[in-house]
Structure 1
Amino acid sequence: MHHPAIAPLHNAVIMGGASGIGLAAARKLLRLGLNVAIVDRDIGSLEQALKELEGVADDGQKLIAAACDVTDRVGLEKTARHIATQLGHVHVLMNNAGIQPGSSIFGEEVEWDAVLSINLGGIINGTRIFGPAMLAHGQPGLIINTGSKQGITTPPGDPAYNVSKAGVKAFTEALEYELREREGGQVRAALLIPGFVFTGLTARGRTELPAGAWTADQTVDYMLTRLTAGDFYILCPDGEVTREMDEKRILWAAQDVIENRPPLSRWHKDWAEKFHAFMRGSKHQ
């Protein structure tokens, strides 16, 4: 049994659906009998993805592709109307579009603007544009937003990405609270928190699956399993990082605030050995 929104003949919309986790989700949902719309700003990737997915869809299943930038609210509203005309009610919305060009605190403004407008703004836009109609049709619905562990433990090295994904976490938590407080509401939210996934976003010139990385398909399979279990926080392991390791890293990050340690103490020279000792010991130490 899957989440009630994930059912044959239901309709799914996947932002950033032309590659990576989004494309893997589109394949899986088609195989589960859903109609699928993939949305992406890269027309070339969109056309290639559509050809691949046409080989997955059964006769009678609906599959459409729409070129749209998730930062373009007006364009996304038009896309939503087009999808409604072609598919009908949306039951599953996956806000998955994201970029990671790299950043620094005092780096180029264009990098910050791009990352925040796509990674965070795109998720807000997708939810606010598709969400009201999902609430109105009264059928089971699910909004899945793709976050990141970097939005929770915020490691040094790419602050714009960390800020965007921390915002996704806060937004999706607020979304789920509002949805669950609606009397009789059937739409819920989930936060996908991938581990190390080998996609175009993380390849960085590599063509072979790195040791320790999961494929996008493994990540989507895990996501669907945890959705069936009722999870909101879908914290994905990978080939190198276990659930226990993630829990301890997240706990250490939270204790920076509680214990008034230096921020990002995990990477601070005076705290590094204490962190490693913590990781070796009990997770409740």
Structure 2
Amino acid sequence: MTHFDEVADTGKVALVTGAASGIGLAAAQIFAARGMCVVMVDVDRERLAAAEAEVGRHAASPATDVVSIQTDVSDPDAVQALEHAVIKRFGRVHLLMNNAGIQPGSSLFGPQANWDRVLGVNLMGVIHGTRVFGPGMIAHGKPAMIINTGSKQGITTPPGDPAYNVAKAGVKAFTEALAHELRTTEGCRVSAHLLIPGFVYTPLTANGRTEKPDAAWTPEQTVAFMVESLGRGDFYILCPDNDVDRATDEKRIAWAAGDIIENRPPLSRWHPDFADRFKAYLKG
């Protein structure tokens, strides 16, 4: 088992995508505070520059240990160029956090552009990052980790934003396959982990709000929970929030799987013939 303390240590290198705000920024701050060299990646150049300065305040040597590189993770050539730049600067990567995500909203028969962008960033961004950086992380032989940010929406797939659900369901399936591949590769010291946040107040989820809702966790709380879970070696990092505890999440996930096992209609939680039954199950 790869131990988090072996990876998140002084002089080791962390790369975080979607690092200009939210969970990615909070993670970059934590990694810098632990003495890691941090590569911050985002598509928004202006916000990324401000975030780099913020993370630099947590680093012992910000001028040398923290760098930001503007990259569109949906572009495989851009991710390949990113890898070349990072290896030239730092030599190797020990922690890869594929976290970049967008949520413009989608509907089944809505604009194709929304589908293309969400799948390109939220799913293919994770795949590109893993496939480009993963072989080098295996080859250098040191303890390493790949953390992919998924979503509960990729597990219970609630109605309302199908492109986002499809992308995050794909991240779950991809990261599970990755974990199997890594653990069956002889001599591999890289582990895979799936971060499954709860309700987190970030620019992605703010929806015009300027104050954190009581139900939401902060990005810092989410990253602290992630670090604790990684310390235990968890693959599924299922985060609660101030409104939903783990027991509720477990019941929702089990009910979703039960749709297949019991041959119920899909998304039966929201089906008029099963809604009351689900509510009773949740209380029971």
- Mapped contact 1:193–1:234 kept (Cα < 8 A): yes
Equivalent position SS for 2:16: strand
Matches within 5 A, 1:139-158: 139-158=142-161
- Asked if 1:119 is matched to 2:118, the reply is no
- Check the 8 A contact 1:30/1:36 in 2, yes or no: yes
Give distance in 1, aligned partners of 2:68 and 2:77. 18
Identity over the aligned pairs, expressed in percent?
A: 56
Deviation for aligned residue 1:6: 1.6
Q: Secondary structure at the match of 2:142?
A: coil
SS in 2 for 1:201: coil
C-alpha distance in 2 between matches for 1:129 and 1:238: 33
Name the residue aligned to 1:280. 283
Aligned length: 281
Partner of 1:57: 59
Write out per-residue CA displacement over residues 22-74 of structure 1, whole angstroms, 9 at most, x where no aligned residue.
00000000111111000111001111111111222113761100011001111
Long gaps (5+) in structure 2: none
**How big is each residue's C-alpha offset from its partner over 1:188-235, in whole Å with a ceiling of 9 and x where there is no partner?**
100000000000000000010101100000000000000001100000
1:73 aligns with: 76
- 1:239 deviates by 0.2
Conserved in 1, the CA contact under 8 Å of 2:95 and 2:146? yes
Q: Structure 1 segments of 4 or more deviating over 4 A? A: none
Please provide the CA RMSD for this pair: 1.0
Classify the secondary structure of the residue corresponding to 1:4. helix
The question of 1:106 aligning with 2:128 is answered no
Report 1:187-206 matches (<5 A). Answer: 187-206=190-209
Residue of structure 2 aligned with 1:230, choices 228, 233, 236: 233
Measure the CA separation in 1 of the matches of 2:119 and 2:4: 32
- Distance of 1:254 and 1:106 partners within structure 2: 26
1:18–1:49: 8 Å Cα contact kept in structure 2? yes
Structure 2 residue matching 1:202: 3-state secondary structure: coil
8 Å Cα contact 2:32/2:56 also seen in 1: no
Q: Distance in 2 between matches of 1:30 and 1:59?
A: 10
Are residues 1:184 and 2:187 paired?
A: yes
- The answer (yes or no) to whether the contact 1:62–1:87 under 8 Å persists in 2 is no
1:42 to 41, 44, 53: 44
CA distance in 2, matches of 1:57, 1:184: 32
TM superposition score normalised by structure 2: 0.97
Q: Does 2:22 match 1:17?
A: no
CA contact (8 A) 1:3 1:227 kept: no
In the alignment, structure 1 residue 251 sits paired with structure 2 residue 239:
no
Q: Deviation at 1:3?
A: 4.0
